[in-house]
A and B are shown apart, each in its own frame.
Chain A
């Protein structure tokens, strides 16, 4: 039985939170005297009213949040956040298309980083900050933020946490979920502030630094410049951002253990960390060599561009320093593979994640060994711990579903009139929460040229990818809504 009242109440509270963020952004127009004041006040006010209505609907609700309620709350909170988050773009008339505004906001919250704006520099600071803020919030998860700061979920928190956090297994670093949440957000904040400070040292303006740092920590990719990081023409900024993209792709729980508990060995010995670093190095090496052979660029430049672009796409950030569509075509596929592989579970990045890749490879290896030794009992071990059969089954189902959605999404894009390569690019990019695609929606262009149907499709793929498929797809299963 679904407890609609508690669902409405919690969604109402979450909307209050979004209203506060929207109204907070109106400080920029207030101080700078820009044109977006009305946009934020109206949007914030509207969000507040709807939140209040939902909250009143849920008055006196039974406190119990069961599993089904958890999935509904998580999925709908993301849909609602995107719906109300797009209001400033529409009210301020920065875009006239609802599809555009929704895509931009969903792209922000899911930390995809694809934009539909063709002249970002003309946007007021408040709107630019709002775009960065959506990513920063979406990075670790809207519900997860709420768990850390507001005690509204009670004991149902763990179910929501599991539904929203990425990766095949979930580990807590403190017996209490809210304390875990606070520490993870602390790590997140430290990464953001450190990165921003280092960018300021590299002569980036303070506002740009903060927005870029928020975007990087969330592995989002929305930039305050049309040409992204390339606009700053600074190798220092590029190297620093590469490093911080890679850090943001690490498992935050392990980062906590490595930094705050001073046990870096745990991080270095972690299976997923090794696969992540290994695959990143392999991709970077391949692209560097390809650039050296096929272009007149020197070693340093080839390495810098390759390291940045592979990091940006593998951690699913989506910043660009160059138009990789000008590179040899073999690198495109390597970049697409990097986009599908992704970084680590428990980070802010999207896509399949290295841990799943490691498990899949080990399953395949065991399959071969099993053919030679039919009676052998072959365990799947990650960090020395045997992975139980149910998780293996979930993993295979996840991989199959991911690939299935990728193909179906591509088919959908082709049927609504997107080109063959562009369709593949935006599907991989949306599902993996990356950002840039291929061809005419590649790194040098915005997604404005896509047909509306494709934009809506991308928004849906982004949400499915961010919540790791099953939390969203479950709502489409009829048995979920049956009463018994």
Chain B
């Protein structure tokens, strides 16, 4: 598959690295020669030093024969224009990064594909969605819905209060338990567990389950004392903060703390909602936070431009008793460190955006791939094809390689968990959890 990525910024670079690891033909376009040079030396991809608005440049990057053109420069209109050009030159599919919620409305989707932009991606919106999902159930670290919520994947950090520690999984996972442990993040490693593994204190455990059993998991994980989030404090009035405030459910009150007075006034124009209060001040000033009632706040979200500030502010907020903290960490190297420092949820715009685009270039049958930020693992949803390998035998006899786990299946719109004895059928949606392997390797079992 031939993919042209225009814009070697953070999203573009991350995406290029990810896709080149997948053995795809990647061409990266940018006008900054130094940056391109560095990437070409270290990764298996081709670079073109040209503007994505130049027709000659697009031809040089061989856009006319590209299967996918991805416009991810920081400038929305440049991305849109370059997608239109790429489409007219013959690119099969185009994706543009935007900064505008209006374009995302479903009623505009047809319009954009007609003019030649097949998909739009709005990283700030995706990040905000993830934040809101995270604070809606504050005891859950990560939350992912499969097929409109038939199955859910949740990540929970186990403390001493959990009831399921140190018991081998085959004793826990009996046929009557309404959940499946699909992955464990222990320290720096991600484990796809097998029957004889045990859950330990401080493990981040990924449960596959159904919505109605979430309270049960909350109980066995010892999270009963967690309060629901009603008051949210956001530090830094970034674009993600705006989207988060807009997406937050009705019952939440949001305070956004922003240093720059000009930006505060702009925020009051952007966020037309009486639940949201804009406060002019420095989020690092503990006196200010106290005055604004951080002690009665259940969630603290740090979204300034500096990863370090975000991490430290979350730690400070934890000390005052905030139960849920979310930090935006754009510096990749800090992510695992931040995880080790016990910050609730970590948001990385680039990775969210990249995984979103990643799903589009996998075969169309995959409807959802989530690149888990903290676990080095992928989750993919497949539709089982007629006559594929997996339908021949029960799951445990199919010879699935190590490090792959089928979490759940949705058959005729009804979700169920998958055990070794489950027999999959054509048309089933399956959720696959895997680590350390390429998607193509998994695909061949299902397609």
Contact = CB atoms under 8 A, between A and B. Distances in A.
Interface of A: 369, 373-379, 381, 384-386
Contacts of A373: 277, 279, 292
A284 to B, nearest CB: 28
B269 A377 contact: no
Contacts of B292: 373, 375
Contact of B261 (A377, A378, A385): A377
Contacts of B288: 375
Contact of A379 (B268, B281, B291): B268
Interface of B: 261, 264-265, 267-269, 272, 277-281, 288, 291-292
A378 B279 CA distance: 8
B269 A376 contact: no
A207 B17 CA distance: 85
A381 B280 CA distance: 18
In order of increasing CB-CB distance, the 10 nearest A-B pairs are: A379-B268, A377-B264, A384-B272, A377-B278, A375-B281, A386-B269, A375-B279, A376-B279, A377-B280, A376-B277
Nearest to B265: A377
Contacts of A375: 279-281, 288, 291-292
Contacts of B272: 381, 384-385
A376 B278 contact: yes
Contacts of B277: 369, 373, 376, 378
A377 B264 CA distance: 7
A267 B268 CA distance: 24
Nearest to B268: A379
Contacts of B278: 376-379
Contacts of A384: 272
A376 B280 contact: yes
A110 B279 CA distance: 46
Contacts of A379: 265, 268-269, 278
Nearest to B274: A381
Nearest to A388: B265
A376 B280 CA distance: 6
A379 B273 CA distance: 10
Given A369-B277, A378-B268, 6 more contacts: A375-B279, A375-B280, A375-B281, A377-B280, A378-B277, A379-B278
A378 B261 CA distance: 12
A426 to B, nearest CB: 41
Nearest to B293: A373
18 contacts: A373-B277, A373-B279, A374-B291, A375-B279, A375-B292, A376-B279, A376-B280, A377-B265, A377-B278, A377-B279, A378-B277, A379-B265, A379-B269, A379-B278, A381-B268, A381-B272, A384-B272, A386-B268
Contacts of B264: 377
Nearest to B282: A375
Contacts of B261: 377
Nearest to B257: A375
A378 B265 CA distance: 9
A373 B280 CA distance: 10
A385 B268 CA distance: 9
B279 to A, nearest CB: 5
Contacts of B269: 379, 385-386
A379 B272 CA distance: 9
Contacts of B279: 373, 375-377
A165 B265 CA distance: 29
- In the complex, which of the residues A369, A375, A378, A385 has the most CB atoms of chain B within 10 Å of its own CB atom? A375
A374 B288 CA distance: 10
B294 to A, nearest CB: 13
B267 to A, nearest CB: 7
